[in-house]
Structure 1
Amino acid sequence: MASEKPVNRPSVRHPSHNHPLRVFKARGEDEIICSGCELELTGLAFKCTKSECDYFLHKSCFDLPREINHKSHTDHPLTLLHSSPYGQPYTCDACGEYGSGFNYNCSECQYDVHVGCAFIPETVKREDHEHSLTLIYNTPCKGRDDGTTFMCDLCEETMSENLWVYYCKECDYGTHVHSCPVYEAHKPKKREGEASSEALRMQSLMIAQDELAAMRIRNKIKNSVIHFGDEPRYKWVYD
């Protein structure tokens, strides 16, 4: 009896992994962790074609640009790294949390940002505050010599002066970018005591995917359309 031919599924390569990857549809009940951003895998993704290899990537992580110019670090571009450059977990200079997966890095300054943090929106709106909050790349107290420190208005914890803050200057109101529920009005209620930072960084990666799609559209039309006004927030650089 003739044996069935094996299914020839298309595969792709990614520089972060030695084996080919294939398209994978993640379900919420799978509870799989993305090897790039280290957050729960959701939606369209990629997995290693080797059955014994437990490597998965969000599509948004797969598509991240290799280099970006970011407003938080204007002296040098940030390069996408697929692991910590220090041989141990790095500390994100945006949110202050640890990471060991993908990150945007300036080797000259040892500046590191989670890939999700790199694409958080520049303004957000909270239902419990009348004004929009603007992203700033250090606390308003940075550089003061009178010993004043900045306190998050949600969790009431004192913040390092170099951490990013969502801030309303008019009210002197500010919050952490991730460890406090900035997007609470836009996500399901969580059980008491359940951490929210991973969900928020995952939402940031989805925003990153939208940014990348918009970037591709801009690249297609930039040679035929004259642009007026401000430059795009990020300048993407590809090899």
Structure 2
Amino acid sequence: MASRIPFNRPSVRHPSHNHPLRVFKACRENEIICSGCELELAGQAFKCTKSDCDYFLHKSCFDLPREINHKSHSDHPLTLLHSSPYGQPYTCDACGEYGSGFTYNCSKCQYDVHVGCAFIPETVKREDHEHQLTLIYSTPCKGREDGATFICDVCKEIMSDHLWVYYCKECDFGTHVHSCPVYEDHEPKKRGGGETSSEALRMQSLMVARDELAAMRIRNKIKNSIIQFGDEPKYKWVYD
């Protein structure tokens, strides 16, 4: 009798994980968290081939560049690390929230940015504000000598001076970079031949995933009658 050869779906390797990964179509109802960006998994993804291993990656996280130059940290390039370099969760220097998955890191400065934060758009438009908001990499109060601090105009929490802000200079209006902003629908730009930019797709995927997780967290907190934005206090113009 001829032996039957088992059919195996193609697998791939990623340096973040010891086991092979295979293509996986994630549904929002699955409530699976990506092991890279730690956001809810939806759409095209990868999962570990081992049945007892809960390792999942967005395709956008699988394809992240190994190194980037970022305007928020122009002195040094940022290197993609697949876990915290400190042996414990790191604090993102963009949004101030913890992370234990992938990070873009500068080892010289101990500077860390969530992979989702690294690709957020430089401008956003809110329905509740007439002007476009521009991403700045610290609050407008940073470096002031008069004791002023900055308060998010949406959630009214004090913001640490080093955090990134979506800001309208004309109106002195600013918000946190996550949860508080309302993103427009950003269509990825296409190259001359009609091919969609991989970086634009990656940015769009990460933005959508983070928005989905933020909405899910808010729904859960409303359900539990607890409303809280972030783990540390946030800030606007306040004088001693």
Give the TM interval when normalised to the shorter protein.
0.7 to 0.9
Map 1:149-160 to 2 at 5 A: 149-160=149-160
2:143 maps to amino acid: G
1 CA distance for matches of 2:91 and 2:65? 21
Q: Is the 8 A contact 2:60 2:206 kept in 1?
A: no
Pairwise CA RMSD: 1.8
1:10 to 2:10 alignment: yes
Q: Is the 8 A contact 2:13 2:19 kept in 1?
A: yes
- Residues 1:206 and 1:88: Cα distance change in structure 2 (over 3 Å): same
Q: What is the match of residue 214 of structure 2?
A: none
Aligned length: 192
1:205 Cα deviation after fit: 5.8
SS of residue in 2 equivalent to 1:116: helix
Q: Is the 8 A contact 1:70 1:78 kept in 2?
A: yes
Q: What is the match of residue 172 of structure 1?
A: 172
Q: Is the 8 A contact 1:90 1:112 kept in 2?
A: yes
- Residues 1:96 and 1:135: Cα distance change in structure 2 (over 3 Å): same
Map 1:190-201 to 2 at 5 A: none
Q: What is the match of residue 79 of structure 2?
A: 79
SS of residue in 2 equivalent to 1:146: coil
Structure 2 gap segments, 5+ residues each: 186-201, 209-240
- Residues 1:140 and 1:74: Cα distance change in structure 2 (over 3 Å): same
1:105 to 2:109 alignment: no
1:114 to 2:114 alignment: yes
Q: TM-score, normalised by structure 2?
A: 0.76
Percent identity between matched residues is: 83
2 CA distance for matches of 1:45 and 1:207? 12
Q: What is the match of residue 161 of structure 1?
A: 161
Q: What is the match of residue 36 of structure 2?
A: 36
Q: TM-score, normalised by structure 1?
A: 0.76
1:53 Cα deviation after fit: 1.2
Structure 1 gap segments, 5+ residues each: 187-202, 210-239
2 CA distance for matches of 1:19 and 1:102? 17
